[in-house]
């Protein structure tokens, strides 16, 4: 079964087959964090690509959650205060985790156990919280994924 999807305010990337969707309010650092993760992946010899920046169409296709970008912004990512850049991108990819950038001063030291984010009314993904000040965000994310 496939649904048509819901267009949400988020950014999404894929790194070595792991789909990450970055969620949060405007100005939370979603695009910057996604860019940093893609750059870190490339430096580490991992494959990475942009799914979409700013708007992501999220749908369920059979047993997978899929993210894709609206045609008008495919391959484009905003680097706040610097401009819009063209990135390597994929038309669509599975999404596995919701990444939430957090200001360290505002966050609890430990997140709730098995935290899930309601991406849409029918789609939930496991949450990984990433402090905005973390130096190697992709390493931080993958350490948490692998510890489960």
The residue among 120, 95, 125, 94 whose CA lies nearest residue 5 is 120
| pLDDT per residue of the chain (148 residues) written in tens, 0 to 9 | 456 789 999 999 999 999 999 999 888 889 999 999 999 999 999 999 999 999 999 999 989 999 999 999 999 999 888 989 999 999 999 999 999 999 876 677 777 778 898 999 999 999 999 988 899 999 999 999 987 6
Q: How far is CA 64 from the centre of its chain?
A: 16
Model confidence, pTM: 0.92
Which residues does 19 contact at the CB level (< 8 Å), separation at least 6? Answer: 12, 13, 51, 65, 67, 93, 94, 95, 96, 97
Question: How confident is the model at residue 47, as a pLDDT?
Answer: 96
Cβ neighbour number for residue 43 with a 10 Å cutoff:
10
Domains and CATH numbers, the chain: 6-146 (3.40.50.300)
């Amino acid at each position: 079964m496939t649904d048509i999807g819901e267009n949400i305010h988020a950014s999404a990337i894929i790194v070595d087959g792991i789909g990450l969707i970055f969620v949060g309010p405007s100005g939370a650092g979603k695009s910057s964090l996604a860019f940093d993760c893609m750059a870190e992946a490339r430096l580490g010899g991992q494959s990475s690509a942009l799914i979409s920046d700013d708007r992501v169409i999220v749908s369920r296709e059979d047993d997978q959650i899929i993210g894709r970008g609206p045609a008008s912004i495919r391959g484009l990512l905003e680097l706040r205060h610097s401009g819009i850049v063209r990135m390597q991108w994929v038309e669509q990819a599975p999404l596995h985790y919701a990444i939430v950038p957090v200001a360290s001063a505002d966050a609890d030291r430990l997140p709730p156990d098995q935290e899930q984010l309601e991406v849409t009314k029918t789609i939930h993904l496991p949450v990984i919280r990433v402090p905005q000040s973390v130096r190697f965000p992709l390493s931080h994310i993958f350490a948490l994924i692998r510890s489960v």
